[in-house]
Copies of this chain bind each other. A is one copy, B any other.
Amino acid sequence: MTYADSMDTTAPGPRPAPAPGSAPRRRDKAATRAALLDAARLRFGRHGYDGTGVRDIAADAGVDAALVFRYFGSKQRLYAEAVRAEVPAGLAADRRRPLEEVTADLLHDVVFADWSAYDGEHPLLVMLRSSGRDHVRAQLRTRICDDYLGEFARRLDGPDAALRAELLGALLLGMGVMRSLVGSPALGEASYERTRPLVDRLVAALAQAEEDGR
């Protein structure tokens, strides 16, 4: 038995909406592709690469699993496209902006932003969870190093600028992990406004170059 039998099969209007909850959705390649991507983001975000099956994603999107391969080629390519997130503009844009401003922006736009499309986690954290796969690990590494650490180091000076840049990266990354992955009590509930002065203090401590010797 299909969704609409025993009624008169002559469709009366534009669409009779056979069942309220399971409208078959007008056939639309682009919309279906987007729905698959949205579902993939949520599933991969919550359960990781290995914990997510293409059948789960397709079911969430309301289509057959075969469409994943028709539209994306493979599960791996769907994953790569799903976790692709644009680095916030304004980081690399103006090289003159001081580190304090850039960090505050990142805190607001990355750590404390709304990533509910990825089940509450930034795509980088989502990838962290699936870093057992080599292709994920490689993507993660280049993303962090190229998009963020380089911009930090450029705004620091001194012989160990790279190291201090990575400490700043570690702090922000760790905050993200604490908030979403670990779900720690204080950071999980804290607001951007309450956290920012503390982070500012830490950035200031990192910004001053070598002064107290080794």
Which residues of A are at the interface with B, using a C-beta cutoff of 8 A?
Answer: 46-48, 50-51, 128-133, 137, 140-141, 144-145, 149, 160, 162-167, 169-175, 177-178, 181-187, 190, 193-195, 197-199, 201-202, 204-206, 212, 214
The answer to whether A163 and B195 touch (CB under 8 A), given A51-B50, A177-B128, is: yes
Residue of chain B at shortest CB distance from A171 = B171
The answer to whether A167 and B198 touch (CB under 8 A), given A162-B185, A174-B173, is: yes
Count of identical protomers in the assembly: 2
Residue of chain B at shortest CB distance from A174 = B174
Q: A130 contacts which chain B residues (CB < 8 A)?
A: 48, 129, 132
Q: Determine if B178 and A51 form an interchain contact, defined as CB atoms under 8 angstroms apart.
A: no
Q: A214 contacts which chain B residues (CB < 8 A)?
A: 193-194, 197
Q: Determine if B174 and A169 form an interchain contact, defined as CB atoms under 8 angstroms apart.
A: yes
Complex partner residue of A132 from B47, B163, B178, B190, CB under 8 angstroms: B47
Q: Determine if B166 and A184 form an interchain contact, defined as CB atoms under 8 angstroms apart.
A: yes
A99 to chain B, nearest CB (A): 15
